[in-house]
Every structure is written in C-alpha cells, then in structure tokens.
C-alpha cells in the first residue's frame, strides 16, 4: 500500500501544491451535495491535481438516506457537475454516505443498500467508476456491503482511524479488515495539514475494460419522459427472464440488442412485456428527468425553428433561437417543457422538439 492521497472540499485550498509536495499521488475532490450545492473550489482543485500529476477523483456528499429516487437525483447532479468541471471519463466518483444532519444511516438496511446501489449504477452508466465511502462501522452494520461489492467489486472507500492529531503513516491496527476495500482513509490530519489522508489498497490506475469503454462511448437519446435504454454488451448475449426476480430464464438476446426500459427494480430492468434483464448483462442508461423532474440532464434540439419561451405552456412568444443539433443543460422539467435558462434568454424549450442525451 504505497499510493497516498488526500480528499478535499471547500475547507481546503484551491491549490493542492502542498499536498503534492508531501507525497499525495491522488486527490478525491468534493464536487456536490444534495442537488443544489457545488464546491466552489472543485474546479481549481481538479486542475491543480492534474497539474501535479495526481490522479483526479471526485465524490458527492449524500443527503438521500434510504431514498432511491433522491439518490438518483443527487448522483445525476454530481455527474453533470463532474463533466462540467472536467473530471475525466473513467475516473472514480464516490458516494459519501455517512450519518449527518442531512443524511441518516438508520433506515432499513435493505432500503439503504438499494438507494446506494441506485446511485452507483447511474455513476457507472455515466462512464465513471463508482466508489462508496463511509466508516467501517456503518458499512458493517447499516448496509448489505456484500451486495455492493458483488455488483461493484473493490469499490469501498473506508474510514477507520483514531482521532489523535497529526498522522504521517497509517496505523495498521485500524485497518478495516473487510472485503472490497479499494481505499483506506486512515486520518483526518494527514501530515498535520488538517486534511484527510488515504492510502490505496488496490491499483487505482488500472485501465478501463472493454465494457467500460463501451459505456463511455455509448450516448443514446430518449424522449423527456422515457425511462431509458438497455444494451446487451455480453459477448454471449443476455439471459431473458420472466419477471424481476430474475429466477425464471425464458430465452436469450444477442450482443448489441437495445431495448427501451419501462421499469427498473433492484438490478433488473424491464424491456417491455415479460422481457426482464439483469443489469449485469448490459449497459443501462437512465433518463434522470423521467425519475425526478428536478434532476439535471443534457438535451439536444432535433427540430428546425426552435425557440425558447418564458412560460411552460403552448402558444408563447419565442425569446431565443436554438439551432437544430445544439445541446443544452437541462435544470428541471415541468411536464413536457425543459428548463434551460433564465427570462433574458428564455427559460423553457418544448420537450417534443428535443431529445435527452444519456
């Protein structure tokens, strides 16, 4: 375990030089919290990490507790911010799930696990590599960690340490002896710099797999109210099941097949009728606006002569012209109208004249 790193937020400086000089080889930068906060130092911290040849990583501070819909919204918001701030595709993006004023770990264990997996799945779908951060006690007692690492091997970022001032080397007596650990956070005062210190337990620099490359290159489009798409990416195809329990195989679908998603439940997706697939057999791209109208997304204009408008209703005066093929960040959805701006440039665009880019 030789690769050392720090995790930083707005409490740390934008310039990470002093951490790099002290030996940090990676930086995990707080990007967001909930669906309305972005770390004001995040962009500069990522740029500084890159300038010092530190591995760039990100995380969002969870406020979703055991709520899967909120987990999708928060993860979707963080993904959009990660892309906007330049976190490279294929980087690690962690869910920071701990007990705090905005997040409770005391919910049902199954619901907690389902919410976290929902967030990790959408992170993977976006082309990032998901991690789950929490304390060792929480991971052992409030989650089904085995289910997490079964779907996402070596994905745990675990905090386990005494609170005893400046620490320069990890104390192995506190190492979290549990399966699936990728990173160990072993102090909150690394080198006396008031920053969390971490050490990599696995090789964080491993290249992406062929399937991960497929995920990063596949960006299909759907209507604003469609749930998403599923693409079979197993060379031998995907097993077709009769229901969401995934216990009754009824057939096989070939590699490359694409299906519109009508339902999703605990690792299973429905491709219409009795067609159920395991998400492990393909790529799942979910439209965040179909799950939560307050989520963020990217839309692309597909019609000619499209204009923005300031009220989400038909027959409104056009404000700003949108060229066919142009893409825009969506901040929310009100029925079929997509919020993309303010009153000066026009707040809404008709969703029937756009598609959502997944």
Distance CA 291, CA 90 (A): 24
Alpha helix ranges (H) inside 159-249: 210-217
Catalytic residue among 15, 74, 96, 98: 98
Cα pseudo-dihedral 131, 133, 139, 145, rounded to 10: -10
Category of 53 on φ-ψ map: left (φ > 0), alpha (ψ -120 to 50) or beta: left
φ, ψ dihedrals at 244, nearest 5°: -70, -10
- Give yes or no: 98 in active site: yes
CA distances to 85, 230, 268 from 250, rounded to whole Å, are 45, 18, 15
Distance CA 47, CA 280 (A): 34
Instruction: Identify the residue whose tokens are 């597909």.
Output: 302
Distance CA 178, CA 350 (A): 50
Distance CA 48, CA 44 (A): 6
Sign of CA pseudo-dihedral 11, 17, 23, 29: positive
Q: Which residues are catalytic?
A: 7, 98
């Amino acid at each position: 375990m030789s690769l050392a790193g720090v995790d930083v937020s707005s409490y740390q400086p934008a310039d990470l030089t002093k951490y790099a000089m002290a030996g940090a080889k990676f930086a995990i930068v707080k990007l967001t919290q909930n669906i309305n906060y972005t770390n004001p130092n995040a962009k500069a911290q990522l740029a500084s990490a890159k300038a010092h040849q530190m591995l760039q990583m990100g995380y969002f501070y969870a406020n979703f507790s055991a709520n899967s819909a909120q987990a999708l919204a928060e993860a979707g918001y963080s993904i959009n911010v990660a892309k906007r701030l330049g976190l490279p595709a294929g980087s690690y993006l962690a869910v920071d799930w701990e007990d705090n004023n905005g997040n409770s770990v005391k919910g049902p264990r199954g619901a907690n696990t389902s919410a976290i997996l929902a967030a990790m799945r959408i992170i993977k779908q976006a082309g990032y590599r998901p991690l789950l951060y929490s304390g060792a006690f929480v991971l052992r007692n409030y989650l089904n960690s085995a289910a997490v690492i079964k779907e996402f091997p070596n994905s745990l970022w675990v905090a386990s340490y005494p609170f005893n001032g400046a620490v320069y080397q990890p104390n192995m007596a506190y190492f979290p002896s549990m399966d699936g650990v990728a990173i160990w956070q072993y102090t909150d005062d690394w080198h006396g710099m008031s920053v969390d210190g971490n050490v990599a337990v696995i090789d964080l620099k491993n290249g992406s797999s062929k399937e991960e490359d497929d995920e990063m290159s596949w960006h299909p489009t759907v209507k604003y109210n469609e749930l998403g798409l599923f693409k079979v990416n197993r060379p031998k195809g995907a097993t077709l099941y009769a229901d969401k329990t995934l216990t009754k195989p009824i057939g096989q679908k070939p590699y490359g097949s694409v299906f519109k998603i009508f339902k999703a439940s605990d690792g299973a997706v429905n491709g219409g009728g009795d067609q159920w697939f395991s998400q492990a057999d393909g790529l799942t791209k979910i439209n965040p606006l179909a799950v939560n109208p307050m989520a963020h997304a990217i839309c692309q204009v597909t019609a000619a002569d499209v204009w923005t408008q300031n009220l989400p209703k038909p027959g409104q005066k056009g404000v700003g012209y949108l060229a066919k093929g142009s893409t825009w960040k969506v901040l929310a959805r009100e029925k079929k109208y997509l919020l993309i701006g303010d009153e000066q440039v026009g707040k809404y665009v008709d969703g029937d004249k756009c598609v959502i880019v997944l």
